[in-house]
Amino acid sequence: MRKIIAKAFTSLDGVMQAPGGPEEDPSNGFRYGGWLPAFFDDELGAALDRVFAEPFDLLLGRRTYDIFAAHWPHVQLDKTAADFDASSAEVANSFNRATKYVATHRPESLGWQNSQALGGDVVARLREIKQGSGPNLLTQGSSELLKILFENDLVDELRLFVFPLILGKGKRVFDPAAAPATLKLKSSKVSPSGVFIAHYDRVGEIAIGSFAFETPTDDEIERRKNLS
């Protein structure tokens, strides 16, 4: 069975919109596109290398797909070229050869190699894909698709990169409709620039407990009566 691994860059207040540059996604008047590069350091780069070192296919929303398709197929792969960057070329090769499963209403316009539309019933299609053989499915960006994944409890692992800034308004990783779940922290690290890098597994439902007295006090009984 294949897993869905959600990878997300987020601010402390949960905003994930346009980390890579001002032109990525300025929708709804978002003014802080490009908030990630100032925090990039070797530890963050190594953590991303570990994510991409494992076999994967990509699971993308249409907006993120278009951003990636305008960039990664055009990365310089010629090692003799002056603008060759080994790290970028390695990611580009991984992305180019991966199957790209895309949530889109315009399947005919998927021009990047190895791209497939998920079709009308995204949830049903993803459940089918997860039951098949192949590498795990790795999300990138795609806030609207993430809402669907979390709402339908389709995420098996979460790779979260939390940056030390507050962005206020913007597209968020988690939506109020997300299915409640308990996660287990598999690993964590803080980069020199203050990025909290965490890897979680989904382990089960929410466990409910209480620190209240077994027999409530009269004041507590009265308090409960006044709850709205």
Task: Retrieve residue 147's tokens.
Answer: 């809402």
User: In this predicted structure, what is the pLDDT of residue 10?
Assistant: 98
* pLDDT tens string 85-128: 998 999 999 999 999 999 999 999 999 999 999 988 999 999 99
**pTM: predicted TM-score of the whole model, two decimal places:** 0.92
Helices (H), the chain: 42-53, 62-69, 86-97, 122-131, 143-151, 218-225
Task: Retrieve residue 143's tokens.
Answer: 């806030």
Task: Retrieve residue 99's tokens.
Answer: 């199957």
State percent of the chain over pLDDT 70.
Answer: 100
User: What are the sequence ranges of the domains in the chain?
Assistant: 4-225
| 183, β-bridge pairs | 202
Superfamily of domain 4-225: Dihydrofolate Reductase, subunit A (3.40.430.10)
User: In this predicted structure, what is the pLDDT of residue 167?
Assistant: 98
* pLDDT tens string 180-209: 999 999 999 999 999 999 999 999 999 999
User: In this predicted structure, what is the pLDDT of residue 18?
Assistant: 96
